[in-house]
Amino acid sequence: MSKRAFITGITGQDGAYLARFLLDKGYEVFGLLARRSSSTSWRLEYLNVLSHIKLIDGDLTDLAAIIRALRIAKPTEIYNLGAQSFVGSSWDQPILTGQATGIGVTNVLEAIRLTDSSARFYQASTSEMFGLIQETTQSEKTPFYPRSPYGVAKLYGHWMTVNYRESFNMHASSGILFNHESPLRGIEFVTRKVTDGVARIKLGRQKSLMLGNIDAQRDWGFAGDYVEAMWLMLQQDQPDDYVIATGVTTTVRDMCRIAFERVGLDYENYVKIDPRYYRPAEVEVLLGNPAKAKSRLAWSAKTSLKELIEMMVDADLARVSAQ
Give the residue numbers marked as catalytic: 126, 128, 150
d(CA 225, CA 300): 8
The string of DSSP codes covering 181-219 is E-TTS-TTSHHHHHHHHHHHHHTTS-S-EEES-TT-EE-
Count the neighbouring beta carbons within 10 Å of the beta carbon of residue 286.
22
Residues with Cβ within 8 Å of 318's Cβ and at least 6 positions away in sequence, in order, are none
CB 82 within 8 A of CB 32: yes
CB of 63 within 8 A of CB of 113?
A: no
Can you say whether the dihedral through the CA atoms of 159, 11, 179, 221 is positive or negative? positive
Helices 13-24, 223-233: axis angle to 10 degrees equals 60
Question: Please, are residues 191 and 255 in contact by the beta-carbon 8 Å criterion?
Answer: yes
With CA atoms as reference, report the closest residue to 93 among 149, 141, 53.
149
- Per DSSP, 31 falls in state E
DSSP designation for 30? E
Residues 105, 90: Cα–Cα separation, whole Å: 17
Decide: residue 254, CB within 10 A, 0-12 exposed, 13-18 middle, 19+ buried.
middle
Pairing type for strands 54-57 and 28-33 reads parallel
Orientation angle between helical segments 252-262 and 190-202, nearest 10 degrees: 30
